[in-house]
Structure 1
């Protein structure tokens, strides 16, 4: 644009000064070596403009010829890149349609000359995973891992696929390379939670759950349920190991958690296992007075034995308070049942079944009736259980 304006300015300038030069053409003398040139100034200016124009035209022709030669030499490469973009697009559409075979084929074709080969290979690996083509999937992931920026993404993807495949040990090895911490991305933390749960590695799960909660990768109800499952499993494992582990696990719980009935019940059962029955019973009875629950009654039925007469009396004294509590009735029924006192066991099983129809309670009542020779009633009770 500037060049055109310059040309236009020169032409206009020529129009303006041409009348003055018509009467006085001037004289120009050039001597170069043995060559001499004599001409007017007007002709010299015109010749200079023509020479410059020819020079510009020659430049344009040379550049055009060079571009034509280079373009023809690189044309196949352009075609390949264009084809790669087309294959990538077709692969993405096939992924959206969940046509895994077509998606894998298209993404692999688009990876050779694609702009981001690692992306194509990860997509192809996903399609191969859905087809359960493990060998091809691993091959694509290995090729994608050659891209330094894609290393973590490939490792995360490989961990997820191994977990889905059921190869928990291999998935754990891959996850350990990622080293899940509070600085890790949410997908890595989510993978860690799923893998630790699948492996029942409750210690690791206990440590990763607060991070998962902070990053909000699961709903609150799911987090609470998983935390409860983890704590119960830790208490059971510790109780089966030794008393020191039990105490360590108990104090690992938060203050609010140590007030929950389910954890208290599990801890009391563990204490009873290590000959601390008196402390176990006191702990359960204290909880029974403040906030009785099903877990406490179940723990009492496991801790108390026929020799614990005083504790049984205290439990029976609470009948007026828990006459409508089915868990209380079941607890006493179990205590009499394990003492082979089938008469009293039948009474409490009947009370429990009257308050709530439950298959296990009805079968327990039928067992007691059979021990007392009431075969017809036992048969009817089992029929009632079958209806449930």
Structure 2
């Protein structure tokens, strides 16, 4: 645009000055070797202008010719790239529709000349997996693996596919190769968590839980549930091996974990199994004083006996504050049955049926009433059990 304005300006100036120039034409003499040129100033100026425009025209023609030659040379490659984009788009739409055969075919074609062939190869592998074509899936992943940047992504994908098809041994070999650490990516850590849980390798899971906690890969509730589950199973398994292993596992827990009621209960079961009831009762008593809960009340009848007088007294002290707690009343009823005190057990079962009646609690009350010879009341309790869900 600026060039055009300059040309127009030059022409206008020439038109304005031409009358003056015609009146005083001037004289130009040019000698080049044996050649000599004589002309007026006006003719020389006009000749220069024409020569300049001729050069511009030649330049434009040369550029146009070169573009045509180069375009015709690289035109097939452009066609292939354009076709690859089209296949990638078709493949993406097929994946959205879950048309796996069409998705695999389109993505595989798009990978040949695509701008991001890795994207096409991973998508084709996914489509092949959903069709059960494991050989084709592994072929696509092998092609993607040739790119060094994709090594971790390929291994993670392979392990996921092996887990989905139930081949946990091959998946574990890949996870061990990835060696999950604090420097590993979030997908690798999540993959390891899933695999360890499916293989029930709680020891390995315990090792990466601090990393998962630090990286916040799970919600607080999910993390708390998984941590308690892992530690509970580890304590249970340790108790099956030896007393030393149980103590080692217990000491491995953090201070906060050793105050968790579920873990205290599991540890107490292990201590009872090794005839260390005194320590178990000490832990249970401490838990009753600090954090009495429904979980603890439900577990106590299996952990203590009628001879454990001190802890019985401690439990009885909680009655004024837990009068309307169904789990606490159930605990008292079961402890009364341990002492063969059917009358006291009946009172507690009646409280349970008043607070939170269920089929099981009505049946328990009916059985106690039968033992006491209260057949009419027992029959009524059985009828209530029959109509209660």
Equivalent residue number for residue 372 of structure 1: none
- Pick from 320, 333, 338 the counterpart of residue 329 of structure 1: 333
State the distance in 1 between where 2:362 and 2:121 align.
58
**Local SS of the residue matching 1:30:** strand
Structure 2 distance, partners of 1:59, 1:176, is 65
Q: CA–CA distance in 2 between the matches of 1:56 and 1:130?
A: 62
How far the C-alpha of 1:178 sits from its partner, in A, is 3.5
Question: How has the CA–CA distance of structure 1 residues 59 and 291 changed in structure 2, closer, same or farther, with 3 Å as cutoff?
Answer: closer
For 2:69, the equivalent position in structure 1 comes to 69
Do residues 280 (structure 1) and 280 (structure 2) align? yes
After the TM superposition, which of the residue ranges 257-266 and 116-125 deviates more from structure 2? Answer: 257-266
Tell me the distance in 2 between the aligned counterparts of 1:130 and 1:349: 60
For the residues of structure 2 that align with 1:43 and 1:318, how far apart are their CA atoms?
Answer: 124
Give the superposed CA RMSD: 3.8
Distance 2:216 2:85 in 1: 37
Deviates more, 1:288-297 or 1:23-32: 288-297
Q: 1:30 to 1:73 in 2, by over 3 A?
A: same
2: distance between equivalents of 1:148 and 1:361? 68
Paired with 2:40 and 2:260, the residues of 1 have a C-alpha distance of 113
Aligned to 1:90: 90
1:53–1:286 Cα change, 3 Å: closer
Residues 59/290 of structure 1: CA separation in 2 closer, same or farther (3 Å cut): closer
Where 1:180 maps in the other structure, the secondary structure is: coil
Aligned residue runs from structure 1 range 139-178, under 5 A: 139-178=139-178
Post-superposition offset of 1:88:
0.7
**Structure 1 stretches lacking a partner, 5+ long:** 337-342, 370-376
Which position in structure 2 is the counterpart of 1:130? 130
Residue number in structure 2 paired with 1:263: 263
- Shift of residue 91 of structure 1? 1.0
Q: CA deviation at 1:130?
A: 1.9
Judged with a 3 Å threshold, the aligned counterparts in structure 2 of structure 1 residues 261 and 181 are, in CA distance, closer, same or farther, namely same
- Structure 2 alignment gaps of length 5 or more: 371-377
Shift in alpha-carbon separation, 1:114–1:317, aligned structure 2, 3 A:
closer
- Residue 118 and residue 271 in structure 1: after superposition, are their counterparts in 2 closer, same or farther (change >3 A)? same
> Of residues 308, 311, 314 in structure 1, which corresponds to 2:308?
311
Q: Which moved more, 1:275-284 or 1:230-239?
A: 275-284
Matching of residue 15 in structure 1 with residue 12 in structure 2? no
